Amino acid sequence: MDNNNLEQITFGGGCFWCVESCFNMLKGVHSAVSGYSGGHKDHPTYEEVCTGATGHAEVVQITYDPAIISYEQLMDVFFFLHDPTQLNRQGNDVGTQYRSVIYYKDEAEKAKAEEAIEKSQQSGRWAGTYVTELTPFDKFWPAEQYHQGYYNENPTQPYCSAVVGPKIQKFKKHYGELGMLNAE
């Protein structure tokens, strides 16, 4: 990948362990880093974010090569990996830190995100009204190191085996059939 042409996108779709693992498997993704955005405290910790008091969402910041994978393809994956109709939750994970949110950097990116939301809603993939927030990007705080690649390091941890693993298998089947995954 030509590092001079890389772009970034930051969004939240529930627990970052689920989302980060999948994005790191995609062709054209240079990195997917778990972290926090959208809150009012600098350098928040996982424990602080989990209280909901900092206003942050668990997010993944993706650095990608648009010559290999498009913004629109990343949005398709984003809406595949989480239910954008659930307000401040994903399954049993409840709280504002699990909200569905896309952080945009400028008006052009906001327009692309609005189009992606509309396209996904029209697809009928999820029944119900989308509650995905569109929020101007401000800051991204990387999560603690032990959260990076968490699933790969802890696949037998109960939450990983019960929630993350099945989501990853569904993702791998779908996007593998589309030829979008890196070779293992």
Burial 71-104 (b: 16+ CB within 10 A, else e): bebbbbbbbbbbbbebeebbeebeebbbbbbbbb
Q: Active-site residues: which are they?
A: 15
Element (H, E) at 77: helix 71-81
- Separation of alpha carbons 136 and 105, rounded Å: 6
Q: Under the phi-then-psi rule, with left for phi > 0, alpha for psi from -120 to 50, and beta for the rest, what region is 170?
A: alpha
